[in-house]
Amino acid sequence: MENNEITITERKITIARLEVQSPELHFSSGNDSNEYTRDQMIDHIKLGDEVGNDFVKTEFEFLRALKNGTLMNMLVEA
Amino acid sequence: MTRIILATNASHDMATEYLESWFQKTVDIAKQQKDTIIFELSKTHANKIEFEELIEKEKPQLIIFNGHGGSDVVCGYEYNILVKCPENHAVLKGKIVHALSCDSGKTLGPECIKIGTLAYLGYNDEFKLTTFGKNTNEEQLADDIAGFFLDPAFEAINSLVEGKTAKESFDRSQKMHKENLMILLASPDPTYNTSVASRLFHNLCHQVCLGDQSASF
User: Residue B132: which of A26, A31, A58 has the nearest Cβ?
Assistant: A26
Helices (H), B33-106: 48-58
pLDDT for A4 beyond 60? no
Contact B70 A31 (CB under 8 A): yes
**Amino acid (1-letter code) at residue A18:** L
pLDDT, average across residues B162-173: 98
- Cβ-Cβ contacts under 8 Å between A and B: the total is 95
Distance from CA of B124 to the nearest CA of A (A): 11
Contact A35 B198 (CB under 8 A): no
Closest residue, chain A, to B69 (C-alpha): A31
pLDDT for B164 beyond 70? yes
Contact A58 B79 (CB under 8 A): no
Which of B79, B189, B157 is closest to A31 using CA atoms? B79
Q: What is the pLDDT of residues B27-59, one digit of tens each?
A: 999 999 999 999 999 999 999 999 999 999 999
pTM reported for the whole predicted model? 0.96
Percent of residues, chain B, with pLDDT higher than 70: 100
For chain B, what is the total number of helices (H) and then of strands (E)? 7, 10
Domain range list for chain B? 3-211
Q: What is the pLDDT of residues A24-76, one digit of tens each?
A: 999 998 888 899 999 999 999 999 999 999 999 999 999 999 999 999 999 98
Q: What is the DSSP letter of B199?
A: H
In CATH, what is the architecture of B3-211?
A: 3-Layer(aba) Sandwich (3.40)
Q: What is the pLDDT of residues B71-106, one digit of tens each?
A: 999 999 999 999 999 999 999 999 999 999 999 999
Q: What is the pLDDT of residue A1?
A: 44
A9 touches chain B (CB under 8 A): no
Domain range list for chain A? 3-76
- Sequence-separated (6 or more) residues with CB below 8 Å from residue B15: A28, A33, A35, B129
pLDDT for A78 beyond 70? no
Q: What is the pLDDT of residue B157?
A: 98
Q: What is the pLDDT of residue B121?
A: 98
Q: What is the pLDDT of residue B194?
A: 79
User: Residue B128: which of A29, A31, A78 has the nearest Cβ?
Assistant: A29
Residues of chain A contacting residue B146, judged by C-beta atoms under 8 Å apart: none
Q: What is the pLDDT of residue A76?
A: 86
Which of B10, B7, B105, B23 is closest to B64 using CA atoms? B7
pLDDT, average across residues B168-196: 91
Which of B112, B67, B144 is closest to B208 using CA atoms? B112
User: Residue B133: which of A35, A65, A71 has the nearest Cβ?
Assistant: A35
